[in-house]
Amino acid sequence: MMLVILLMLMPSVSAADTEGHLDIYFIDVEGGACTLLVSPSGESLIIDSGYPDNNDRDLNRILHVVRDVAGLEQIDHAAVTHWHLDHYGNHAALSTKIRINNFWDRGIPDVLSEDAQFVNRVSNYRSASQNASNSLKAGDSLPVKSGKTSYGVRILTGSREVIPNTGQPNPYADLHEPQPKDTTDNAASLSFLLTFGEFRFLCCGDLTWNIEAKLMTPNNPIGQVDMFMVTHHGLATSNNPVLVRAIDPRVAVMCNGPTKGGTEGVIRTLRKCESLEALYQLHRNVKLEPELQTPASFIANSGPTQGCQGVWVKASVAPGGREYTVQIGPEGKPRHYLSR
Ligand SMILES: [Zn+2]
């Protein structure tokens, strides 16, 4: 009886409950990258699109999540972090299956030194975007719509440039050990800082070591984040501790493949983060001992690529951005985290 009275006295629905969640899907593209964000208004942003070919393996996985899981009928914004095939592999093919309203990239270079086929390969992307993709540079923001909870997407790096090095001194700046200059397009990756109320999510594409340090030394212009998409599939040429330790994520999600990324050194760097509560891996690194990676219950796919079901990881951020859940696949039990 008491309970009934208490329930009757409670306001039926609080204002915040009427607003939807921000959902982030980390789609398994076997060591490429594809991240789909859907804001409470239903506005969608897809960052990267996995590998082409392989009988449309990645294309079909992406379409499944976009249409069947997220229930979208169009993609509002499709971004490319940089010009490697595991990142822009399906943008053109996707656009033949579902409407894409805006294309975003770092600008299309005339040539790409590491890819002799680039001009051919990018021609499909040019046609798909009707040669009218929008270029982004460090300091830009995407024109996304806020609801009751403020929502923003800011670009921190692009084409080897970084936002101004303002902010507090980075206490980990001395950990930087310069590496030989990276002449590939990885170093030119766009980095995205997404904010949803108090929640902050960082995704840096395949940004590499020296540009990470350029962004993060001597000051930390980003501050700390709640969720970090581990850079470059967890490869050791990225994830400089000057960045990873300073942003000190509470949850990290690594888009590695069974034999690509997910490296021991990067996992050790992540484990040194004071606030890290959970590391999710899209794949078990089949070459690494179990104790050197995250516990099996935090790994979405444990077998090799052949026969892989492509299980996704989803984060769902509550209105206001003060808390969020992370689950593995449709049957996964959501784990609960508080924003910092
Ligand atoms: Zn990559």
CATH of the domain at 318: 3.60.15.10
Q: What is the pLDDT of residue 89?
A: 97
| Buried b / exposed e along 216-247 (16+ C-beta atoms within 10 A) | bbebbbbebbbbbbbbbbbbebbbbbbbbbbb
Q: Do residues 23 and 37 lie in contact, with contact meaning Cβ atoms separated by under 8 Å?
A: yes
- Ligand 1 mean position, distance from CA 89 (Å): 11
- Ligand 1 mean position, distance from CA 18 (Å): 38
Contacts of 115 (CB under 8 A, 6+ apart): 83, 84, 85, 121
Q: Is residue 14 part of a domain?
A: no
- Ligand 1 mean position, distance from CA 243 (Å): 18
Q: Is residue 103 part of a domain?
A: yes
- Ligand 1 mean position, distance from CA 207 (Å): 9
Domain count across the chain: 1
Q: What is the pLDDT of residue 19?
A: 83
Sign of the alpha-carbon dihedral angle for 175, 177, 183, 184: negative
> 128: phi > 0 → left, psi -120 to 50 → alpha, else beta; which?
alpha
- Ligand 1 mean position, distance from CA 74 (Å): 25
Which residue ranges in the chain fall short of pLDDT 70?
Answer: 1-18
Q: What is the pLDDT of residue 8?
A: 53
Please count the other Cβ atoms lying within 10 Å of the Cβ belonging to residue 27: 27
- How many residues are present in the chain? 340
- Ligand 1 mean position, distance from CA 54 (Å): 17
- Ligand 1 mean position, distance from CA 257 (Å): 10
- Ligand 1 mean position, distance from CA 182 (Å): 14
- Ligand 1 mean position, distance from CA 333 (Å): 29
Q: Is residue 268 part of a domain?
A: yes
Q: What is the pLDDT of residue 15?
A: 46
Q: Is residue 7 part of a domain?
A: no
End-to-end CA distance of the chain: 38
Q: What is the pLDDT of residue 2?
A: 54
- Ligand 1 mean position, distance from CA 14 (Å): 42
User: What's the number of CA atoms in the CB half-sphere (13 Å) around residue 76?
Assistant: 14
Pairing of strands 35-38, 22-26: antiparallel
Q: Is residue 337 part of a domain?
A: no
> 42: phi > 0 → left, psi -120 to 50 → alpha, else beta; which?
left
- Ligand 1 mean position, distance from CA 98 (Å): 24
Instruction: Tell me how far CA of residue 120 lies from CA of 95, 110, 127, 255, in angstroms.
Output: 18, 11, 11, 27
- Ligand 1 mean position, distance from CA 147 (Å): 32
- Ligand 1 mean position, distance from CA 332 (Å): 26
Range(s) of the domain holding residue 130: 21-331
Q: Is residue 339 part of a domain?
A: no
- Ligand 1 mean position, distance from CA 15 (Å): 41
